[in-house]
Amino acid sequence: MKYLLKKTGTLIITLIIVSFFSFLAFSIIPGDAAKSRLGTEATKEQVEMLQKELGLDKPVLVQYGNWLKNFVTGDMGESYSYSMPVQELLQDKIPVTIALTVMAFLIILLLSVPLGIFTAQHEGQWLDRVIMVLNQIVMSVPGFFLGILITFLFGLVLKWFTPGAYVPVSESFFGFLGYLIAPSAAIALPRCAMGVKMLRSAVLSQLEKDYVRTAYARGNGQRRVMYRHVLKNAMLPVLTFWGMTIADIVANSMVIEQVFTIPGMGSLLIASISNRDYPVTLGIIVLVASLVIVVNFLVDILYGRIDPRVRVRQ
């Protein structure tokens, strides 16, 4: 309980610090929002009026407080280039990114766990070597290039899907999911390779421990030792890796969305970076950052549940 409270405290503090720095970076550094909105022709009075209206004449902390209050209630300000509220822009983009992330994560889980265990059990055999070599190569392929390769092979040559023909959820739910298979595979495969490598080395390092010998000595079969004893311990470092992977998938989906022309948060972020549309950029960055922080928090909690040593030590 104490562990949970402490972690929750850290969570809230981190969220506040990160959002404050993001706010500072995107609202203060780019210069006066009132001036840039009115253009160079504006008179001093006009600028001052708009400053007052936007609350720009107040101290930074007060401005941050107001922004935070609005942000939490779902008001993220107004986009410069689309002249509409940021939250409306984001509304139908967030589910797309979430769907992409969940699918990519599922692919990673379904592929990397069995492969990791398999390669560890058959360490040094030819199949393990082949998988590990492939693994090393896949790890070095940038996600977007993998996306291009998948588009070429499965989209253009084999015609399993039509590149660029994105299906919105509102049109067909399964069509939407179907279109997302290729991009989520492109995001997932390099991370899958990392996951296999990680789980394999974690299992191997556990297999050398004394408790494994003891477990065998007590008459446990190979299967039972692996699933009952080794995996429990080997999963711990991998769990942290998965937490980081979720954050990584979200960040990389921004690039992959561009490859498959998916109208998600990524395309919006890239467009708003190029247009210097700071409210939109700020909104997306803070949203994604919060997600990263919350996922890390959940992993920490889960860690404490699985491994009681962590709770006691801290």
Partner 1 sequence: MKREKRNYNFILGAGLILFMLAFLLIGCFFTPYDPDAMDGGAKLAGPSLSHLFGCDHFGRDMLSRVMKGTGTTFFVALTTVALGGGLGIFIGAFTGYFGGWVDEVLMRFNDAVVSFPPILLALVFISLLGPGKYNVILALAIVLIPSFARITRSEFLRQREMDYVKSARLMGASHLRIMFVHIFPNALSSVLSMAAIGFNNAVLMEASMSYLGIGVQPPDASLGRMLSESQTYLLSAPWCAVFPGAAVILLALGFSMLGDGLVKKGGR
> Which residue ranges make up the site for partner 1 (CB under 8 A)?
14, 17-18, 22, 25-26, 29-30, 124, 136-137, 139-145, 148-149, 151-152, 156, 163, 244, 247-248, 250-252, 254-255, 258-259, 269-270, 272-274, 276, 281, 285, 288-289, 292-293, 296
Nearer to partner 1 by C-beta: 152 or 227? 152
Residue 127 Cβ vs partner 1, minimum distance, rounded to whole Å: 17
Q: How far is the CB of 197 from partner 1 (least distance, A)?
A: 9
Q: Which is nearer to partner 1, 145 or 173 (CB)?
A: 145
Closest alpha carbon to 71 in 99, 90, 96, 95 = 90
> Identity (one letter) of the amino acid at 268?
L
Residue 10 or 233 with smaller CB distance to partner 1 = 10
- Name the minimum Å distance from CB 278 to partner 1: 8
Q: What are phi and psi of 85, to 5 degrees?
A: -60, 140
297 in Cβ contact with 7 (< 8 Å): yes
Question: Which has the closest alpha carbon to 249: 95, 93, 97, 22?
Answer: 97
Q: Name the minimum Å distance from CB 178 to partner 1.
A: 20
Q: Which two tokens stand for residue 16?
A: 């506040």
d(Cα 268, Cα 119) in Å, to the nearest integer?
A: 40
Contacts of 242 (CB under 8 A, 6+ apart): 105, 108, 109, 195, 299
Rounded CA-CA distance 188/8 in Å is 30
Taking the least distance from each CB to partner 1, the nearer of 9 and 142 is 142
In the bound complex, what is the minimum distance in angstroms from residue 204's beta carbon to partner 1?
11
Q: Output 226 or 249, the one with its CB closest to partner 1.
A: 249
Residue 180 parent element (H or E): helix 173-207
CB of 148 to partner 1, least distance (A): 5
Q: Which is nearer to partner 1, 130 or 156 (CB)?
A: 156
Q: Which is nearer to partner 1, 67 or 297 (CB)?
A: 297
> Given the complex with partner 1, which of 29 and 61 has the nearer CB atom?
29
CB of 255 to partner 1, least distance (A): 5
Q: How far apart are CA 78 and CA 302, in angstroms?
A: 38
For residue 2, give both structure tokens.
């104490």
Max CA-CA distance within the chain?
87
CB of 173 to partner 1, least distance (A): 27
What single-letter amino acid sits at 218?
R
The residues, any chain, with a CB within 8 Å of residue 49's CB and separated by 6 or more, are none
Cα 156 to Cα 145: distance, rounded to the nearest angstrom? 15
